[in-house]
Structure 1
Amino acid sequence: MEATLNRQKAAPGSRKEAVSAISEISGSGQTQRKEDGHMPLYRYQGHTETGKLKRGRMSAATPREVSMRLRDKGIIVTHLEEAPESIWTKEITFERKVKDADFVMFLRQFAALLKAGVSVVDATALLAEQTESEPLKKALYGIDKELQAGNPFSAAASAYKKVFPPLSVHIIRAGELSGQLDESFERLAAYYEKQYDTKQKIRSALAYPAVVIAASIIVIIFMLAFVIPRFQAMFAGLGIQMPLITRLVFGASRAIAHGWWGLIFLAAAAAVALYFLKKAPGARYLFDKAVLKLPVFGILLKKAAIARFTRTLGSLLSGSVPILESVQMAEQVVGNAVIREVLAETRDSVAAGESLAEPMKKSGIIPPLVTQMIAVGETTGSLDEMLAKVADFYEADVGHATERVKALLEPLLIAALSVIVGVIILAVIVPMFSLYNQLD
């Protein structure tokens, strides 16, 4: 029955509404497709209007697309066949994730098409042709084949985990079972849009200090490696006694000038060690626990994690996903091992028929506001609404906090850079004063 619903064709008027809906969302009705190494490769032969023979290969979804694209180039196809792929013709590609903005756009467009009366099969095929995201295009073409074979969208999408995370598959499946697939896609679009906005706010807060620190390191290394050695050679020939600050700066300059390879090795080793430590469960827990205790960024990252898991949990529950599966999905996306452990304890509590809020309250990690709102939601039967309100509050708070962090860090970083550069300059000036006094 589900396959029959998927194959239901849209009325002519509905198709016009669908195109209009896509135009409103994306800003253009159609986009030309790129050649995609994941598509079939075709070998063609034809001639131009002047009779010149043309041969070549082209990747496309269908032979008809090859003919149309060549016709646009002024080539009339006389022979067309699918070319077997070999090691010489197959492109070497790396699987990539879909950009958040592209995925949100797809969800919005898909929901608009379904609301306009376009069938799931037609909507999938249309968006597969329109999208410019190669990983999304590949996934949609694969899903389209599964839909034509009578399989539901959620089952087909579950094979493309890089494009459709388990959370999205669960909500889509719930929409299929309830007959509200368009609302499920709208809910997903709103969810990923919120996640994308929060992520961008965190990145903007971290980007400024990262850029300033990187620029400061470059300036300091340049001064120590290229400027200080000139003064060092000059002072060495004068035979004067160097003050402590000058000896320290000159020592750092020699270490950078002669041992730069060792510093690069230590930095690379530290990066590799940190990467593998984050992969180990125990070390990741200690790392995330230390991150939450950072003076400024710890509070910001904690608020972002709370916004993420409450938004996820609320979206899943509003999509009629069972609560145990919802909590498990929230564990996977929270992004912090400490809060993930709290959610695991919460899942065990719910499985035992107990409260959702009580384990969070006992943990001491989740703020009282969150636990109280969840407790009220459990009592009144409006848990999804309460979680959405908590998520709205913390997402807005993250936005305000990022502005405060940037305003606080800007003078601190500038002051720190000024102190370091001032020490280097002072190390050069002090011996000059000593030399001037000796000349007097």
Structure 2
Amino acid sequence: MPEFVYEALEPATGRRIKDEGYFEGPLELLRWLERRGLILIRYRLKKRYFWEELFAPKVTRVELAEFCRNLAFMIKGGVPLIQALEDLEKTAENKTLAKAIRKLRQNVEEGKPFYESIKEHPKVFYPIVQALTLVGEETGRLDETLYSAAEHLLRVDEIISTTKRALIYPAFILVSMTGALAFWIFFVLPRILTLFQEMKVKLPLATRILIALVSFCTSNWFYFLAVPFGLVVAGLFVWKVPRARFYFEKIILKLPLVGKVRRTSFMAFFFEYTALLLEAGVNLMRTLEIMQESLKNPYMDEIIMTLKNRIEEGFSFFEACEGTGFFSPLELRMVKVGEETGRLVDQLRYLADYYYQRLERLVATLSKMLEPILITVAGLLFLIIVLALIGPIYDMISQIGKF
């Protein structure tokens, strides 16, 4: 749908209004303004360039959470929805979000339900926000469900950020060590070792091994570029192909410490999501469907599919979880007690908080464990290099002293 920039006159006050909006054509724009008692002065079609869509800023979870929270506060304070959206559009710093809010406002002004308008922007408003908006409109508690959506988005963003910090830090250290080692092997050591050979210094075994290693590396430098490139291509393949990503996630979950961090992150998200939607009044099957749309993780997708199939067969939520073979005895016990006592949401929230706190402890533990290990490995590598160089350097200095 084309976007128009227009200027209109408000006859009662003589005020000129400049705004933008999406319309099928100039006639629809004119009729839309007439319904609001405005007179069209001028308009133009807003130009669109392909790079604007290509480099359009993505709406982050924090930005979306801020929008939901502010809208919830304004609705609770008695501000009409259209006026609230207009104010939020003016204050939105993210252009993509501002454009989506403008379209929401226009749709609501035309009488379209807020939930239907939200659904038109799936890349901006996540499935959880769509679901809670629908529940809020149907129950008349839109302010409460929007606030719940904001709290959930902030919690999920914290979970994802915490997991990334746990995995990025050791990766950064490893890359830095590899870069330093490559600099020594390809630039520093060849010059030093060539000098030893020219001076005809008697070389110990450790130095001869180092020379052989450096010679092999410098003569096969192409492979040292091809291997990282191949790993990047393989990583992209794994990320794009669902089945390959499924097995990759399965391998990650079996790793000693990283796997525990990954699983804890999954569990914190799963229980947080389920508790929020069930508390809002969404049924269990729809909750699992929305979770599938949000996660987009092949491994978790298969677990959720198993849950849905078993629930459709008549099993309880506890029995469905037990049938996946993924949930621990603690998790199963909590779910079972929740179902039996009618306090399932409370039990799920307890599990979500438990795994969130556990994730924070694991991240702190991971950093404390990996840092000394990586530093020790780096120190040993460079110690071996230094020891292999000390003997020949001492002999070379002795020969120079004789002259």
For the aligned pair, the TM-score class normalised by the smaller chain equals 0.7 to 0.9
Q: Which residue of 2 aligns with 1:48?
A: none
Note if 1:107 corresponds to 2:62.
no
> What do residues 311-362 of structure 1 show as CA deviations (whole Å, max 9, x unaligned)?
1111111111121110122234446533332221111111122111223224
Is the 1:304–1:398 Cα contact (8 Å) retained in structure 2?
A: yes
Distance 1:90 1:275, change over 3 A: closer
178-187 or 222-231, larger mean C-alpha shift: 222-231
Q: Residue 61 of structure 1 aligns to a residue in which SS?
A: strand
Deviation (angstroms), 1:291: 0.3
**Partner amino acid, structure 2, of 1:155:** E
Q: Which residue of 2 aligns with 1:180?
A: 141
Unaligned runs of at least 5 residues, structure 1: 1-37, 44-58, 63-79
Deviation (angstroms), 1:406: 1.2
Deviation (angstroms), 1:437: 9.2
TM-score (norm 1): 0.77
Write out aligned runs for 1:312-351 (5 A): 312-334=273-295, 336-351=297-312
Partner of residue 376 from structure 1, selected from 317, 320, 337: 337
Distance 1:121 1:115, change over 3 A: same
Note if 1:61 corresponds to 2:20.
yes
> What do residues 9-39 of structure 1 show as CA deviations (whole Å, max 9, x unaligned)?
xxxxxxxxxxxxxxxxxxxxxxxxxxxxx97
**Partner amino acid, structure 2, of 1:297:** V
Write out aligned runs for 1:403-422 (5 A): 403-422=364-383
Note if 1:302 corresponds to 2:234.
no
Distance 1:434 1:139, change over 3 A: same
Q: What is the distance in 2 between the residues matched to 1:132 and 1:39?
A: 19
Q: Name the structure where helix makes up a greater proportion of residues.
A: 2
Is the 2:67–2:88 Cα contact (8 Å) retained in structure 1?
A: yes
Q: Residue 212 of structure 1 aligns to a residue in which SS?
A: helix
> What do residues 184-219 of structure 1 show as CA deviations (whole Å, max 9, x unaligned)?
101101111111111222222223222222221221
> What do residues 109-146 of structure 1 show as CA deviations (whole Å, max 9, x unaligned)?
01101110112222111111111011111111111111
**Partner amino acid, structure 2, of 1:236:** Q
Distance 1:97 1:382, change over 3 A: farther
Write out aligned runs for 1:98-247 (5 A): 98-240=59-201, 242-247=203-208
**Partner amino acid, structure 2, of 1:230:** R
**Partner amino acid, structure 2, of 1:216:** M
Is the 1:221–1:256 Cα contact (8 Å) retained in structure 2?
A: no
**Partner amino acid, structure 2, of 1:200:** S
Q: What is the distance in 2 between the residues matched to 1:406 and 1:90?
A: 40
120-129 or 174-183, larger mean C-alpha shift: 120-129
TM-score (norm 2): 0.83
Is the 1:104–1:189 Cα contact (8 Å) retained in structure 2?
A: yes
Is the 1:96–1:162 Cα contact (8 Å) retained in structure 2?
A: no
Is the 1:278–1:287 Cα contact (8 Å) retained in structure 2?
A: no
Q: Residue 129 of structure 1 aligns to a residue in which SS?
A: helix
Is the 2:196–2:396 Cα contact (8 Å) retained in structure 1?
A: no
Deviation (angstroms), 1:306: 0.5
Distance 1:251 1:328, change over 3 A: farther
**Partner amino acid, structure 2, of 1:211:** F
Identity %, equivalent residues: 26
Is the 2:243–2:298 Cα contact (8 Å) retained in structure 1?
A: no
Partner of residue 347 from structure 2, selected from 358, 361, 386: 386
Instruction: Report the count of equivalent residues.
Output: 371
Q: What is the distance in 1 between the residues matched to 2:338 and 2:122?
A: 32
Is the 1:309–1:333 Cα contact (8 Å) retained in structure 2?
A: no
Q: Which residue of 2 aligns with 1:354?
A: 315
CA RMSD of aligned residues (A): 2.8
Q: Which residue of 1 aligns with 2:34?
A: none
**Partner amino acid, structure 1, of 2:118:** A
Unaligned runs of at least 5 residues, structure 2: 8-17, 22-40
Q: What is the distance in 1 between the residues matched to 2:141 and 2:49?
A: 47
Is the 1:339–1:365 Cα contact (8 Å) retained in structure 2?
A: no
Is the 1:305–1:334 Cα contact (8 Å) retained in structure 2?
A: no
Deviation (angstroms), 1:259: 4.5
Distance 1:292 1:243, change over 3 A: farther
Q: What is the distance in 2 between the residues matched to 1:175 and 1:396?
A: 30
Q: Residue 112 of structure 2 aligns to a residue in which SS?
A: coil
Q: Which residue of 1 aligns with 2:243?
A: 282
Q: Residue 79 of structure 2 aligns to a residue in which SS?
A: coil
Distance 1:95 1:430, change over 3 A: same
Is the 2:59–2:97 Cα contact (8 Å) retained in structure 1?
A: yes
